Amino acid sequence: MANSLIIKTLNSIKRNPKFLTTFSSQSQIHTRLFTSIATAQEPQSEDPSSSTFTFSSDGKAHKNDNNCSIYVKAPSSNSQTTSSSSVTMPMSFMTGSIVGKRFYNEVKVRESEDGVGWSVMLDYRTLKTPSKRPLKLPTLPLAKAVAAEWEYQETDGIRPFSMPLMKLACTALERVPLTRPKVIEHLMKKFNQDLVFCRAPEDNILTRGVHERQVEKIDPLLDWVESEFGFKPVVYSSFYGGKQEDGLIKAIENLLKKTDDCELAAIDAMASAAHSLIIAIGICRGKLQIEDAIELIRLEEDLQVDKWGLVEGGHDLDIADLKVQISSAAVFLGLSRRI
């Protein structure tokens, strides 16, 4: 039956050859209606050092009409290329995108020109932050560690997600000095919902094992908080936590205000990954080692994995990512301190 329909269709096309012409013209109309063709033109500008591209949806040039065109700034073709003694990383560096191929051969470390801090050199260029500030690291060990991240980049592309120390350094040098009050406010806003203050119910058969493990592993950390700050934390059987004593809140806030930029950047990164400011402070004060902190963070989930099994491509990636975030922030914190 299908063959007979095809034969009838071909015969009707032979008897009416204009059908194809009509169909072709209609398809072109629909193509113009349902596709957008981006064309570029350079309108006249009073500033000869700049140029603008106009992208329209109909393939025609427009001037100053209401066509909802999109204007994108482009570099001037008349600008001359000049050699530079520094290299500035784009803002995409902070988002994790691949920023381009490796453009340098040798990575070195030298003391900053003003004698304050250490700089990383890519060939003859001095490395700068995304906002074009000199990347002056406080200690030589931290500078060497950042230089090692640049040294181990592949030739086919620079991968910022493999450079956690560089990212933390940019955060400490750029974002923390400008947003310090907001960073502290954000950390204190979530303090009452800290991971170590949330306790699984003891009277539930499904969560009794989790509660016993939390008492065993987390209570020593809470005892340390009481001895360190003079106030005993209150635990709650709620995802939303509960109100802590004003004295403890004030003591933690004062501690954050006394930190330097590198310490606050590291604490903020660890608290974000751990969902716990107390664990971050414990690492900062030397109470917790990296392995101990990761065990506390994953305590409940690891019990679930032991009972129900590990999901490949899920739990294993979460564990690896957590180890990178906590370890890199802890290493950054240690290397940034002047001995």
Query: What is the DSSP code string of 138-193?
Result: SSHHHHHHHHHHHHT-BTTB--GGG-HHHHHHHIIIIIHHHHHHHHHHHHHHTGGG
Residue, of 53 and 144, whose pLDDT is higher: 144
Average of per-residue pLDDT values in the chain: 79
CA–centroid distance for 250 within its chain: 30
Residue 62 banded pLDDT, cuts 50, 70, 90: very low
Residue 247 banded pLDDT, cuts 50, 70, 90: very high
Residue 280 banded pLDDT, cuts 50, 70, 90: very high
Residue, of 187 and 17, whose pLDDT is higher: 187
Q: What is the pLDDT of residue 292?
A: 96
Residue 204 banded pLDDT, cuts 50, 70, 90: confident
* pLDDT of 160 higher than 60: yes
Query: Is residue 230 exposed (0-12), middle (13-18) or buried (19+ Cβ within 10 Å)?
Result: exposed
Q: What DSSP string runs through 101-127?
A: ----S-EEEEE-TTSSSEEEEETTEEE
Q: What is the pLDDT of residue 88?
A: 64
Cα–Cα distances in angstroms (integers) from residue 296 to residues 61, 209, 313, in the given order = 62, 15, 22
Q: What is the pLDDT of residue 44?
A: 41
Q: What is the pLDDT of residue 268?
A: 98
- Say whether pTM exceeds 0.85: no
Q: What is the pLDDT of residue 242?
A: 82
